[in-house]
Amino acid sequence: MDGNGRWAEQRGLPRLQGHQAGIEPVRACVRHASRAGVEVLTLFAFSSENWRRPAAEIEGLMALFADALRAELAELDANGVRLRFIGDRARLSPALERATADAAAKTADNAGLVLVIAFGYGGRWDLAQAAQRLAAEVRAGELRPEDIDETTLASRLQTADLPEVDLLIRTGGEQRISNFLLWDSAYSELFFTELAWPEFGRDAFDRALAFYAGRQRRFGRTREQIEAVTC
């Protein structure tokens, strides 16, 4: 969800107002994803690299996130949305840590859209913590090094029980994935748009879904192999 700060700066507004303007597109996309039959929607809310931003902006973002979570939780729960949070929570305030844990617990039994919030998350961090967990298991004699394969590593990621990413949408005009879900996005279709996140609504989401629907996903196979299977 990129481009909040630049959207605000272009309008002579404080960056935090750009982040505030980004709340409505979140609401719209969650509702539209549910209607469109999307099973899992992951939002990159705050990256591990975002901790490098000015302290005042970080403080404002934390407060904004906490307020939005309180304001939206009842509606999300009423609509069957199940909340998940991934990322390093060690630097969160105790109050925000409790709020995310309580929100996840409150919606844990819901059967609708799984809404994953990546907060304090980085793809490299996730791979590193998975490697640490595997190393600890090897040291404890619970796992042999030769038994570690792609499946074993994937099972120690924070996204272990989630499907791999089908479609990755990047707003704000940048064309990179910026350390987001590196393992899970290995075969993602990538959709880039010049729209800043506050400008991204239902029509833009539909364009991204149409782009995805037009892709042929081969996963290393040839076009002929895919067509032979699907015809």
In degrees and rounded to multiples of 5, residue 95 shows phi and psi of: -65, -45
Is 206 an active-site residue? no
Task: Decide: residue 118, CB within 10 A, 0-12 exposed, 13-18 middle, 19+ buried.
Answer: buried
Q: Both tokens of residue 31?
A: 């509702």
Q: Both tokens of residue 25?
A: 């597109």
151: Cβ contacts below 8 Å, ≥ 6 apart: none
C-alpha gyration radius of the chain: 19
Catalytic residue among 50, 79, 110, 179: 50
Is 50 an active-site residue? yes
The CA-atom distances, in angstroms, between 34 and each of 105, 115, 185 are 20, 10, 21
Q: In the chain, how long is the greatest CA-to-CA distance?
A: 59
Distance CA 195, CA 152 (A): 38
Which residues are paired to 135 by β-bridges?
none
Q: Both tokens of residue 103?
A: 């929100």
Active site residues: 2, 50
